Structure 1
């Protein structure tokens, strides 16, 4: 949500361009780090993957060249609304899970230039294609892997609402994608502080590890959200009391030390005066 910058390349993705946009969205997303002036002065925007024709395989996550004029390694799904790329071997195995011969044939065909439709356009349960005009046949697509369901075929645990009693966490959202439902399938662990799986899934050409590890992001979010427990509050208060007492004791000791020093000086002066009088008496 929030203000997004859309890539005009083939990936069709959207990003929070500035830190301010990411903060306003309240989604704990990492921005691209542009300033508002840079965005305003930008005639058009292409992400680094599209700039350099280096895209991630949506199955294995590795980067590969998508430049068909120079030994392409990953190829884009032919569906006009799909921005995902795949290695021929990866997508062939997904489309022919139980038939190695058919998978190998498809792999070779893709390498030779034949188009393909990726698994996100077929329900993994009933094996039927999406039908946006029919109720219940709208596709629910995973945001982390090439798995899709018709809405009516969704497993019960991929829910639009959280149910603490049954241990069900929210994994599905309407209206975030055009004519589709966004889900995180059961393969992916949901991180409590983020409400999503780990956010280390995007890789840019000059950053193999991604823009920012979600582990670091999760830790920073947890730190911001953490409230001190009663024990921590008590310990903190007790620590402050001890600290205050230590300061007062130190000050008191210092004052006592000063008094003691003055007393010694007075006694010494008194002794010197007595000795001086004694000497003067003897001399006189």
Structure 2
């Protein structure tokens, strides 16, 4: 033992000197240990500081690049005449993706393993996707509709789930307003996966009417009246051809067909006006329009 030769009881002066010497040795030992520890950590601290500075530089430059790409894509979408809702969504997705990519680059630069973060993010994405797969189908349908543009806001469409004027095209639902002012909300997944008719897609529509006249009526006169009414009807395009013809020899009437063209917005007004004017003109000309009727004869029984 080091202190084996020390007597059991030491004089106070000797004990004080010994304590002083031990304290001096401890004071010399502490700074040396601390300095050695700092020296061991110094390369790693310097490397971390350099990586941190590089990461801050990457963040600064990357943010500027992302803003530049964002502005370029925004101008491209405007030139493409893309729907506002789709444009905002795609720009948001692009911005989020670029910032996530920048974040992974920065984490890798400062020494954080991004593989585990990607694994957690992927697992969470799969779980969320399974939970909302129905909404995702509608969302995908909305993106397809906004990209392919089978119809726009203001168009009148007919589908198996309803018909009406398109008010809004969202990313999940499309809202229609019917002619009697009811609101119909249709999932975009249904619209994108089924046939529909866009009535107002074209600038003009053909107006078709079919009216029956009696077999005893003057056919040539009836055709002339119908052609005149169609040509003079407000809303019928004067530069387009008008046709009148016999479409069918039906059981109780000769069916006359008439065709003209009207601007899409004037279609119903023109068609209803033609039907009314033809009926009035036929009545004035004495041309019979047959209709179903039943004759009842009552026979009296004589006793």
Please tell me the TM-score bracket, short chain as reference.
under 0.3
Higher RCO, 1 vs 2 (CA within 8 Å, ≥6 residues apart)? 2
Higher normalized helix content (fraction of residues) = 2
- Alignment TM-score, normalising by the size of structure 1: 0.22
More strand by share: 2
Query: Rg larger in 1 or in 2?
Result: 2
